[in-house]
Structure 1
Amino acid sequence: MKKNDLLFILVFAVIVLPFLPLGFLKDFQTSFLYNEDYWLYTSFLKFAFLATLGEVIGLRIRTGKYSEKGFGLVPRMIVWGFLGITIKIAFVVFAAGIPTLVEKYFGVAGAKDSMAFKDVFEASENGLGGVRFLSAFLISTFMNLTYAPVMMTFHKITDIHIIQKGGSLIKFFSPIPIRKIFPVINWDMQWNFIFKKTIPIFWIPMQTINFMVASEYRVVIAAFLGIVLGVLLSVASPKK
């Protein structure tokens, strides 16, 4: 194991540690990290650190390095932080809206009530465990077929913008030429792998599980899933 690998493992441990269910962290997690009153800040921070870790791991797998010229670590953290906020908003909107939709128009009785319980276990104790599972699946499906492709495409656009600006933080804040970047996107990868494979095979099942747990943990779970996605994308991309 190389020195850089040991250093990364240390950094990884430091970043992940605050999210672990450890007794001495309970007060911090309850008062801030998982406190819905601070959702704006915590959503940004969770994705800025955890999802960016996924990209760093992906870079390591592809190139053998944890950083390279033009990678733009800080700009990537800013993008992921912003996306983390939109993901939190999407979670709230879809978790509230889809149960109402499917209960009123698709005959899924008890969908709203099942999502009102803290998690699938509490719903099961009240006879709505199966409905909670179905509701979670439908929420995940609707969200991943509508919001997710837009979010993923926006992320790819910013990714290309960061690379084109040489990873510079200052240049990152220049206007993004979306019209020029759009044709540059590798649509074969975007459509055939990211959309057609990761959404039905990875994201819909994983987010179904996510919507079965308590709402305060959903964003951090999604951020951890971002680490996994970074690895998946690196495997699908040609190594340098």
Structure 2
Amino acid sequence: MRATAVRRTALAAAVASLTLLATACGGSDSDAKGDGGTSGAKDDASAKPAAVKALSSAELEKASLEQGDVAGHKISKTGPEDIAQPGDVTVDKKECEPIGFAFYGVKRGTPVGNAGRKVVEEPKKDESADPEDLLAGMLDMTSSLVTLASYDGDGAVKNMAELRESAAKCATGGFTLSMKGSKQKVTKLTEEKVTGGEEALAWRVQMGEGDEVAPFKLVSVRQGGTVATFFSFNLAKTGADADFERPTSVIDAQVAKLG
């Protein structure tokens, strides 16, 4: 890994880190998320919403991931410092607000309960004596913000439908997010196939422009009246053609705990 590549990686890491700090602003007991990415669930999942009673924040906490639930990952709770208020985030296109708010954990609809976790993949071990290779290995790990939001009635189904519609309208052309004055440009949304729960959506999200482009992953899964949202990035990935695997083990473990 050459010095130029290391500098580019470090730049991407800085951009991604700033975005994670912003996205971390939404996954605690005080705020909710209900967003995701591509469709790959049951075809009629949204056509026949079941009458459900929302889980409380306390119940969602019990259903949230804990340390030890996912091998090779460190899991911690989101705290009050991670909470974003709706007024903190603006999107330059109204139709892109649902998908844009998903990145930052901004509450949508009227969730009854909320819970959040930060999940970070442990660095891969590398016995190489090359400092640049060691740095690359330390950066090559996926971090995710996981949030749960529960809704009464068909609230969760509507949440997913709103997200799907927003992403379809904003897949091309781009839009700009502003988190407390810090702007992020979303240049492309690419739908990806995903399965899980009663309904699932997923996208590859391209943020940044020029040499500061980096990919992110957004996944939303509905299980009953609860929507689980996963927003992930990998610090080692940069460039328009860069990509990384979704944290499938994290998603599967969380959906399993939701029953």
- State the structure with more CA Rg: 1
Q: If each structure's strand is expressed as a fraction of its own residues, which one has the higher value?
A: 2
Query: TM-score, normalised to structure 1's length?
Result: 0.30
Q: If each structure's helix is expressed as a fraction of its own residues, which one has the higher value?
A: 1
Query: TM-score, normalised to structure 2's length?
Result: 0.28
